[in-house]
Each structure stands twice: as structure tokens, then as C-alpha cells.
Amino acid sequence: MTDPSARHFEEIARRTVEALPEPFRKHAREVALLVADWPGTDMLADLGMEDPRELTGLYEGIPLTEKSVWDSPMQPDTVWLFRHPILEEWRDRGNVRLDDLIAHVVIHEFAHHFGWSDDDIAAIDPWWE
């Protein structure tokens, strides 16, 4: 069996965004959504990480709670999904559907866009336990 393609990941991610309630969906649609096989070395370095398998997704941008009319963004807000780390986590877990894991990573990264910290997310999301 071959691994699901980047296109499959993007389709699940876009469906997840479309399932968000308004007004979240409206704001989420304005964020670039990209799928890559692995995180870049510059991303890992910026986060102080060495193992690319530890990063399943990343939000790059200014959270909505911190945006100002004076901001001049250099690039659009972006949610990244990293296909191989997600696939590895899915195989390691063995107890979740791949599409559910993809959707979970999407929601987690968009929560950052909406201003939530990892601690905020962990307080209501027992997924990682």
C-alpha cells in the first residue's frame, strides 16, 4: 500500500477548515494551507528542534489576537502540514484514523492562528495523552 499523497492531506485539511463554525471558517480561509513531506531545516532551527519527525504541523504568522492595522506582513499567514511526520505518528499510534489525525493537526495549528498557546490547547484537548 502506498502512502496517501500530499493532495489527500490537503483535501482533508480543506474539509476540516470548511467544517469550522463561522466566524472561524471565514478567517481560516484567509490562511495559506501548505503540505510538505518534511519540515525545512530552517523551521526546525527556529524552533530549537533537531528531529523532523517531531513536527507534524506549524503555524507561521501573526495570531489574530496580536494583529494590528499597522502590521505589514512579509508573507501570508500559513499553516503547514508535514506528511511524513504525520504518517509516522499515525503508524506509531495504531489507534486513530489517518484522516482524524490530519484534521487534528489542522485544528491545532489554526488554534495558534486564533491566538491559542500550546498550553491553552492542551488544557482542552486530551489528544496527546
pLDDT tens figures, 66-101? 887 766 667 889 999 999 999 999 999 999 999 999
Write the CATH number for 48. Answer: 3.30.2010.20
Q: What's the angle, vertex CA 51, arms to CA 46 and CA 52, rounded to 5?
A: 75
Is 11 a member of any domain? yes
Is 57 a member of any domain? yes
User: In this structure, how many other beta carbons lie within 10 angstroms of the beta carbon of residue 41?
Assistant: 11
Is 47 a member of any domain? yes
pLDDT tens track for 29-72: 999 999 999 999 999 999 999 999 999 999 999 888 888 776 66
Tell me the residue length of the chain.
Answer: 129
Q: Look at residue 123 in the predicted model and tell me its pLDDT.
A: 77
Number of domains composing the chain: 1
Q: What is the residue range of 97's domain? A: 6-128
Is 1 a member of any domain? no
Give the predicted TM-score (pTM) of the model.
Answer: 0.89
Q: Look at residue 55 in the predicted model and tell me its pLDDT.
A: 97
Is 42 a member of any domain? yes
